Structures are given as C-alpha cells and as structure tokens.
C-alpha cells in the first residue's frame, strides 16, 4: 500500500495532475491501484495558514475531490474511499459541524447528476442513523440515483470511527450469530492500495 502526505488540501488537485496518482507511468493495467483512500485532514490548519475561515478550508477540501473522482474513473481504479467526517468531529463547535453537514448535502445535490453520467456508484459508510434527517434523505437520493454505476465505487465515510466499528461489529456478531456482517472496511470490498492524507504543516 502506498501512502502520500499532502501539505494542503487544495494541493491534492495539483498532485493528481502532476503525479496522476502515481500510475501514469504504468505500462500494464495491473499496475493501476484497485482501491485508493483519501483521508481529509488539515482543512482547518490550511485555512488558518492562508488567512481563511474554517468553512473556506473545508470547502476547499471538498472542491479538491471532484477532479480526483474523475481521474480515478478515467484511470480504471475500481474504488475510491474518502474519509470525510469521523465521530470525533462531533466535539467541534456547533457552527463547524453544521457547516460540514451543509457542505456534504450541497456536494451531494450538486455532484450526483455528474456522478451518474460518469458511472460512479456512491456508498456512504458510517453510523448514518445519527445524522440529521435532511442529510440522510440527501444520502438516500444519491445512493439510489447512482446505484447503476459500474465504472467506480465512491465510498464516503461519514460519522465513522474505529471504536464504533469494533462495537458495531461485536453487536452484529452477537445478533446475527454465524451470519456474515458488514463493517466499513468490508463494505469497501477491495483492500486499499493507495492512501492520500490531507495534512497541513506549519
């Protein structure tokens, strides 16, 4: 598994163009990673370094994703996973949490038609029942609209955490006995081959 640490969220766009997810030099289809994961971190630090608001930092992070999705689909990558909002993020200010939800809903409404056109299937992973009703409705609409996508699976991890995964997995195992259960990782279907982390440094 390859890992890339990017200094600024907006730099992901430039990195994708210059490095092409480190697969432009590949000479055979087997060299293209099947599953790429992006950890969206450092948006607030990036905004602070550039004299911007936290909301502008988060917005820049969201905007950086669009060309990555397009490039992943064009390169034949099977799955792209975006870790966007962990359960620990609930500890942030109410204004910031509301901004994050607003950005998610706006991005879903804005991007869904284009995702359908590109053949991208959306999966939202995490404790969705804890999200606001309007957010859940937008998510359900996007999942339904993109269900026929076959070129790329876009996993968006929202309201996730490692601890919750363990608790939920144990509860499912007890409830379902020997039946199979799905965690965030199992829902992704493929092992992660390539990880990109948004990381801001002073």
* Whole-model pTM over 0.75: no
Active site residues: 41, 89
**pLDDT value, residue 195:** 54
Cα Rg of the chain (Å, integer)? 17
* Long-range Cβ contact pairs of 178-185 (< 8 A, separation 24 or more): 184/125, 184/126, 184/157, 184/160
Would you write out the chain's pLDDT as a tens digit for each of its 202 residues? 544 444 445 444 444 444 444 444 444 556 788 999 988 877 888 888 889 988 888 888 888 888 999 999 999 999 999 988 887 777 888 888 888 888 888 888 999 999 999 999 999 888 888 888 888 899 999 999 999 999 999 999 888 875 555 555 555 565 665 555 455 555 555 555 555 555 544 4
Sequence-distant (6+) residues with CB within 8 A of 73 are: 118, 119, 120, 151, 152
DSSP conformation letters of 32-65: S-SEEEEE---HHHHHHHTT--HHHHHHHHHHTH
**pLDDT value, residue 127:** 82
DSSP conformation letters of 64-133: THHHHHHHHHHHT-SEEEEEEEEGGGGGS-HHHHHHHHHHHHHHHHHHHHHHHHHTEEEEEES-GGGS-H
**pLDDT value, residue 62:** 85
For residues 119 and 150, the answer to whether their CB atoms sit within 8 Å is: yes
CATH topology classification for 2-19+32-161+191-198? Undecaprenyl pyrophosphate synthetase (3.40.1180)
Domain boundaries, the chain: 2-19+32-161+191-198
């Amino acid at each position: 598994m390859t890992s890339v640490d990017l200094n600024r969220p907006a730099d992901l766009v430039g990195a994708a163009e210059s490095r092409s997810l480190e697969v432009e030099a590949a000479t055979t289809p087997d060299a293209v990673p099947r599953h790429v994961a992006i950890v969206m971190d450092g948006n607030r630090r990036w905004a602070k370094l550039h004299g911007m608001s936290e909301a502008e930092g988060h917005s820049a992070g969201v905007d950086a994703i669009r060309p990555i999705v397009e490039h992943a689909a064009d390169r034949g990558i099977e799955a792209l996973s975006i870790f966007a909002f962990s359960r620990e993020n609930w500890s942030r200010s109410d204004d910031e949490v509301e901004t994050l939800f607003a950005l998610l809903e706006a991005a879903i409404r804005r991007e869904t038609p284009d995702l359908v056109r590109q053949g991208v299937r959306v999966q939202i992973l995490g404790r969705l029942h804890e999200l606001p009703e309007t957010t859940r409705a937008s998510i359900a609409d996007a999942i339904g609209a993109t269900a026929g996508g076959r070129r790329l699976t876009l996993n968006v991890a929202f309201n996730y955490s490692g601890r919750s995964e363990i608790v939920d997995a144990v509860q499912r195992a007890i409830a379902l006995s020997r039946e199979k259960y799905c965690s965030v990782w199992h829902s992704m279907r493929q092992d992660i081959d390539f990880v990109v982390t948004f990381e801001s440094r002073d």
